[in-house]
Amino acid sequence: MNFFGVLNTLARKKLWFESIKWIESRSNLQISKMHQYFNALGFVYYNMQRYDLAKLYYIEALEFKKDYIVALQNLAKLYEVLDDGKSAMSAYKRILKYDPSNKFAERYLKT
């Protein structure tokens, strides 16, 4: 099973600590996949309600690939949860910069 297949299985079962262990055991990924690695860690921490760590990892994912839409959407959603509308707005605008027809961002910016 591939990286996301295993992670998806663990996430469906809400095995968050096992997810972290599994992701970290794959830290030797090629540099071209590091954005996915950090985003996956952010996703797990988000679901554990460790928003401080989730934010850190989403931002780290974007350091490796600044136009990674998945991490940008996750970061925008996190800012909403944190009630940081200004940062959420900024993230959604950044999404539209890279993906002008992104429905996720368009929906937020229309409200």
The confidence score (pLDDT) of residue 30 equals: 67
In Å, how far are 13, 19, 22, 85 from 107, measured between CA atoms? 30, 31, 34, 14
The confidence score (pLDDT) of residue 18 equals: 82
Task: Read off the tokens for 18.
Answer: 């096992």
The confidence score (pLDDT) of residue 4 equals: 67
The domain tally of the chain equals 1
The confidence score (pLDDT) of residue 83 equals: 97
Q: At what angle do helices 85-98 and 69-81 cross, to 10 degrees?
A: 160
Task: Flag residues of the chain having pLDDT under 70.
Answer: 1, 3-4, 7, 27, 29-31, 111
The confidence score (pLDDT) of residue 29 equals: 65
What is the extent of the structural domain holding 83?
A: 3-110
Contact 55, 43 (CB under 8 A): no
Q: What is the CATH number of the domain that holds 46?
A: 1.25.40.10
The confidence score (pLDDT) of residue 14 equals: 81
pTM of the complete model: 0.83
